[in-house]
Structure 1
Amino acid sequence: MRFSKYTIPISIFIHLVLINGVLSIFIPDTFLNIWAIIYFNTSWLLSTYWLNFYPTSRKERFWDKFHSFLQLLVVFGLAYFAWFGFKRADITASSSLFFTLGVIYICFLVYRISFFWARSSYREMGGNQVNVVVIGRDRNLKKIRSVFDEEDLGYRYKGYFDNQYSQSPTYLGKIEECFQFILNNNVDQIFCTVSRLSQAELLNLMAFADNNMKKLKIIPDNKEVFTRAMTIEMYRSVPVLNMRELPLDTLWAHVTKRIFDIAFSLLVIVGILSWLSPFIFILQRFDSNEPLYFKQKRHGVERKTFWCYKFRSMTTTPDAHKTMISKNDKRVTKLGRILRRTSIDELPQFFNVLLGDMSVVGPRPHMELHTEMYQSSVDKYLVRHFVKPGITGLAQIKGYRGEIIEQSDIVNRTRLDIFYVEKWSLRLDIKIVIKTVINAIQGEEKAY
């Protein structure tokens, strides 16, 4: 604990050393002077302050604030090029400038990896530990105990106090006995479950913690209503629970995902669909005289309707917009079987992505009729409509794609879609895309 206060100053120092070291090695003397050094160092410090980058939580892991790390790189990169733009750097030096910034970025990433690895290793060896106790036992005790038991977080759980006797080996006694134990065992943090304490007991604990320089943390009475997506907002001195704050609600996440969608969809449209569409059109002439594309109304974000495009793989029937495909469906053409088995029929939906109706990754859009049906029969089904639908998704790579045979199929699909909505990250999108490609190559049981 006594060395943790030096973590931020050391990190700032190392980052500045990396910046100045790389610049002094790769940037010509014509651009690097005392004013340039002051500018680059000030830009870094202001960027980190603006993004509140350095204050870290004990529970923070490598990926927890990785989006902030990327934001910081972008902001610093803009400031970096602004200096050379102001100095009117020779265009012939542009490759050198990009290379230098790339080296700085790599150094930052290596340091970040090294920092979290070293901190985790140090804690697993017994360093940077905090002793904790819990006052009051309710349903949350088991959940928070699982956090304390993770060695790389550095918690040392001593036990709990509660007025109800227990034979548990971690039971330490009644609440009134906790004060002496805390003082005698160098307890650093006290976690208090408010549902098990009276107002007088709680006020007494608050006074004790303040008078003995102990950190008191309150676990509120959640009535089992907390969710993964919940956050606490302060309206002056009144705490208010926001039950569903999603990662994609932030401007940075929204812009990042949209850039990824546009870049990826253009890559597919130009690199694949530009030549594949005419080829499939020619093959279709041997199979049927149907149009190349099939379009169908689907529900998107906030239940807005859009036209979803696919390569036609089935013959036109009156129930095409009502009946989901089934195994050995007679409506599927010969060419359609190949297209559906390899998921090539879904590729025109990259036009939907480029238009902004869909995303590369997200919950799969359903027919309007099915949305109406599932929203009344599947709990929290409409939560999946808080984000844009996707060409592929977490549910699809987990095997819940295609035909809904049993109620559990749509329930599990919805459960995975909600998890994706609540836990979105660019890293998760990339993993899903890679897994989708692997599944398409290997073949999937429900791809028919």
Structure 2
Amino acid sequence: MQKGRYSKYIRPIVIFVDLLVINLLVLVCLRSAMSNFGYHLILSTFWLIIAYYIGFYEVYRTTKEITIFSKLLKQFLFIWLITFAYIGFKYKFVTTNEIFTYILVSFIVVSFFKYLVFYLLKKYRVHYKGNIRSVIIIGSKQNTLELSNYFTKNPYLGYVIVKHFDVRNDKNISISNIFEYISDNRIEEVYAALDDLSKNETEKLIEFTDNSIITLRLIPDNKSKLYRNLAVEYYGIIPIIVLRKIPLEIDINNRIKRTFDIIFSLLVIIFILSWLTLILGLLIKIESRGPIFFKQNRPGFKEQDFLCYKFRSMMINKTTEKEATRNDPRVTKIGKFIRKTSIDELPQFFNVLLGDMSVVGPRPHLWAQNKAYGTKVKKYMIRHHVSPGVTGLAQVRGFRGEIETDEDMVNRIKYDVFYIENWSIWMDIKIIIQTVVNIFKGEEKAY
């Protein structure tokens, strides 16, 4: 469970305030003719597009003030060019001085609010102990002393060192002891010095943090060679390796995906489920007793449970944690049809609208499957770094339905992890299109 992290609420508010400021100042600094729907739409749209590409809202607790200023300059340089181009095309009577005044005043006001939020969060962490992350450090005192001092001298970052494991000099400490301590004390981030861990210990640490959904950051030695799929962040002058950069951990990406999910799920609910539910509900009721919808507890984002909805395709039974098999006697006649065409999954768009699921993502497994494969299949738990999906990359690649061998699950996880680490909105659209194509073509494992 995440403690005291409010950025998911703060960033949308900051974005809203920024858009409000740049649009209201059009009325104050430019002529009334500029305050029209077309310009406000263009201004707001390009503001968000530019912000996405330059990472304008990617400001973290370790971000430097000069970096924020650089982002502000880039953002307003592009906004100035867009405003200048629009006025030159539509309103030649607006003067250069008016444009300059508008950009300058907007820059000052937006900068004021951006730095205000940045410093208020720092004060909040220091004085109210909010937005805190509990961390442990693994490594000898010598190798990790700088990092420890950095966290101690900069309490505004909100990192609290709960424990320091000197694995080089204390022979009583084993990697299993550390794992037990992490589990018992709800540690959120682990910092480990590569110099002080063997290759085997490093691999075990990576696997454990993956399965526990905990952030692992590595402190490189001087001989480390960084690969292109690793990211390096600097805490002061201390290089920290981030093993996995998940695109959906970037707030603007998450907002784009969530907006797409809401719009897409509303379209499905209004134009398909509004009438299909009545027809299927009647057919389901005629064939067998029981509810129209089947609700089942499934593990979701960060392995938090949620009720997953489906059209009921089986007779009422007490083996709901057992996945469907070929020619499953529990499946009804109408159930065979809706499972074959994946229509039974459509109510999950209500889950999408509620925020429990996404349109595209790793399919939500049964809790029994999590227990069976969580430690058995490498990187299995990485799938819980994002919300589960109505459809997913593994499904459109043929790895859906019944798990007949361990290899089936290994392949499914391979595609799930690839999706998580390489997400883009275009990938989501391609997967949705391929899902529709597969429904009409028919799938062998859809039963």
What's the TM-score once normalised by structure 1's chain length? 0.52
Distance of 2:48 and 2:315 partners within structure 1? 61
% same residue:
45
Report the secondary structure of 1:286's partner residue.
helix
| Residue matched to 2:393 | 394
Q: CA deviation at 1:245?
A: 1.9
1:51–1:397 Cα change, 3 Å: closer
The alignment covers a number of residue pairs equal to: 260
Distance of 2:81 and 2:344 partners within structure 1? 40
Is the 2:47–2:79 contact (alpha carbons within 8 Å) kept by the matching residues of 1? no
| Residue matched to 2:440 | 441
Q: Extract unaligned runs of 5+ from structure 1.
A: 1-28, 54-70, 88-219
1:252–1:433 Cα change, 3 Å: same
Q: CA deviation at 1:46?
A: 13
Q: Match for 2:436: what amino acid?
A: V
Distance of 2:82 and 2:323 partners within structure 1? 50
Q: Match for 2:341: what amino acid?
A: T
1:311–1:44 Cα change, 3 Å: closer
Is the 1:273–1:348 contact (alpha carbons within 8 Å) kept by the matching residues of 2? yes
Is the 2:52–2:252 contact (alpha carbons within 8 Å) kept by the matching residues of 1? no
Distance of 1:45 and 1:235 partners within structure 2? 30
Q: Does 1:235 align with 2:235?
A: yes
Q: Match for 1:337: what amino acid?
A: K
Aligned positions of 1:239-388 closer than 5 A? 239-320=239-320, 322-388=321-387
| Residue matched to 1:20 | none
1:52–1:247 Cα change, 3 Å: closer
Q: CA deviation at 1:237?
A: 2.1
What's the TM-score once normalised by structure 2's chain length? 0.52
Distance of 1:381 and 1:282 partners within structure 2? 39
Is the 1:226–1:243 contact (alpha carbons within 8 Å) kept by the matching residues of 2? no
Q: CA deviation at 1:289?
A: 1.6
Distance of 2:278 and 2:291 partners within structure 1? 12
What are the Cα deviations for residues 356-384 of structure 1, in whole angstroms up to 9, with x where unaligned?
A: 00000000001111111110110010001
Distance of 1:77 and 1:312 partners within structure 2? 56
| Residue matched to 2:164 | none
Is the 2:377–2:410 contact (alpha carbons within 8 Å) kept by the matching residues of 1? yes
1:437–1:240 Cα change, 3 Å: same
1:255–1:75 Cα change, 3 Å: farther
| Residue matched to 2:412 | 413
Is the 1:343–1:447 contact (alpha carbons within 8 Å) kept by the matching residues of 2? yes
Q: Match for 1:374: what amino acid?
A: Y
Distance of 1:388 and 1:77 partners within structure 2? 38
Distance of 2:444 and 2:52 partners within structure 1? 50
What are the Cα deviations for residues 172-209 of structure 1, in whole angstroms up to 9, with x where unaligned?
A: xxxxxxxxxxxxxxxxxxxxxxxxxxxxxxxxxxxxxx
Is the 2:261–2:358 contact (alpha carbons within 8 Å) kept by the matching residues of 1? yes
Q: CA deviation at 1:227?
A: 7.5
Q: CA deviation at 1:31?
A: 4.0
Distance of 2:342 and 2:79 partners within structure 1? 39
Report the secondary structure of 1:376's partner residue.
coil
Report the secondary structure of 1:377's partner residue.
coil
1:298–1:223 Cα change, 3 Å: farther
Is the 1:227–1:244 contact (alpha carbons within 8 Å) kept by the matching residues of 2? no
Is the 2:285–2:292 contact (alpha carbons within 8 Å) kept by the matching residues of 1? no
Q: Match for 1:243: what amino acid?
A: L
Q: CA deviation at 1:49?
A: 9.5
Report the secondary structure of 2:287's partner residue.
coil
Is the 1:314–1:336 contact (alpha carbons within 8 Å) kept by the matching residues of 2? yes
Distance of 1:421 and 1:441 partners within structure 2? 27
Aligned Cα root-mean-square deviation (Å): 3.9
Distance of 1:344 and 1:404 partners within structure 2? 21
